[in-house]
Amino acid sequence: MSKSMAFEEPIVKLREKIDELKEIAKNADVDMSEEIVTLETRLKQLETQIYSNMEPWDRVQVARHAQRPTTLDYIEEIFEDFIELHGDRFFGDDEAIVGGIASFNGQPITVIGHQRGKATKENIRRNFGMPHPEGYRKALRLMKQAEKFKRPIICFIDTKGAYPGKAAEERGQSEAIAKNLVEMAGLKVPVISIVIGEGGSGGALALGVANKIYMLENSTYSVISPEGAASILWKDASLAKQAAEAMKITSYDLKKMDIIDDIVPEVAGGAHRDIHVQATSLKECLEKALKELNALSEEELIEDRYNKFRKIGQFIEEDEV
């Protein structure tokens, strides 16, 4: 059973009570089925009530859940024939980003994504999904390869951010991210990005200059983590909950701001509760997007991406005097 989060505590408690009751009924040989049915109805109501009224901070907890499905989980569920391809050809292979070729409903595609680990050992190997420059350079290499062979590119975004380390700076973290932004703008093939967990700042955006951008319902996309925002804005990282609210980082916020194309609804309580169901809805979303983008010419794809990002921003324009 996966770890519960604070906001779903009442659900967990009630579920425990029901289990307890069932146990008693079994052992004491008394009929409690009526009570159990009543409580189970109550549980359903409670789940609906809690899971459909999640605060931004609750969603942050879901997005960061240790058992939340990762890029490789979705790859396994959604694609066939996946072959992982490694390395940036300059320095190394960054396991915080995975990528490769696969087929999707018979169409060859390139898939790339941030990859965190679920257990500590894997997390260390994958640097908690926080890439170094070679990760972004590997991603770009695979995108260029996809372009050459006219394969659509599907990116899964799931990172706290690009790694803030000495070696990362020495090898040009800024340049690696910046170059991806510019080069992705010019890709002659369809690009689809989906935020599946945390979309942390430039390190996320470096896989995000796409024709279609989607977010799983409980994922977040932001310029800085809620903790970081709180410590910069109010000099107090413990105000992260308030920052999560103020910074407008949920899928609903980004949809409202017209930055993302759509929200992919999640299984009640979060994607980790049923990856198969979650992968199915993600697959449907990809099918729809690809059908639309496959019809566009190279020029139209680039134009489409240009227009998509060109219009982002809110300001007031006064008439020239």
Partner 1 sequence: MAIKSLLSINKKKQKGVIVDRNKENSFPADLMTKCPECKKIYLTKELEHNLKVCPNCDYHYKMTAWERVSIFIDEGTFEAFDDNIRTSNPLKFPSYLEKIEIDSQKTGLNEAVLTGKGKVKGEQVVVAIMDSHFRMGSMGSVVGEKITRAIEKATELQVPFIIFTASGGARMQEGVLSLMQMAKTSVALKRHSDQGLLFISVMTHPTTGGVSASFASVGDLNIAEPQALIGFAGRRVIEQTVREKLPDDFQTAEFLLAHGQLDAIFHRKEMRDKLATVVRLHRKGGISHV
Closest contact distance (angstroms) between CB of 206 and partner 1 is 8
Give, as ranges, the residues between 63 and 122 that touch partner 1 (CB under 8 A). none
Closest contact distance (angstroms) between CB of 169 and partner 1 is 6
Strand 153-159 with 97-104, pairing? unpaired
CA–CA distances in Å: residue 139 to residues 94, 110, 152, 263, 299: 10, 10, 14, 25, 22
Q: Which of 186, 236, 277, 287 binds partner 1 (CB under 8 A)?
A: 186
Assigned token pair, 166:
């000495």
Assigned token pair, 128:
């908690």
Closest contact distance (angstroms) between CB of 116 and partner 1 is 16
Nearer to partner 1, 10 or 164 (CB): 164
Rounded Cα distance between 158 and 96, Å, is 10
Nearer to partner 1, 106 or 315 (CB): 315
Q: Which of 71, 110, 201, 219 binds partner 1 (CB under 8 A)?
A: 201
Q: Answer yes or no whether residue 165 interacts with partner 1 by CB under 8 A.
A: yes
Strand 262-264 with 220-222, pairing? unpaired
Closest contact distance (angstroms) between CB of 167 and partner 1 is 9
Closest contact distance (angstroms) between CB of 80 and partner 1 is 31
DSSP labels, 260-286: SSEEE---TT-GGG-HHHHHHHHHHHH
Strand 153-159 with 220-222, pairing? unpaired
Q: Answer yes or no whether residue 205 interacts with partner 1 by CB under 8 A.
A: yes
Q: Answer yes or no whether residue 172 interacts with partner 1 by CB under 8 A.
A: yes
Nearer to partner 1, 229 or 282 (CB): 229
Q: Answer yes or no whether residue 169 interacts with partner 1 by CB under 8 A.
A: yes
| DSSP H helical ranges for 149-250 | 166-170, 173-185, 201-205, 226-233, 240-246
Residue whose structure tokens are 């799983």: 216
**Contact between 166 and 206 (Cβ < 8 Å):** no
Q: Which of 254, 263, 264, 279 binds partner 1 (CB under 8 A)?
A: 254
Residues in the site for partner 1, rule: CB under 8 A? 162-166, 168-175, 177-179, 181-186, 201-202, 205, 208-209, 221-224, 229, 232-233, 246-249, 253-254, 257, 259, 305-306, 309-310, 312-321
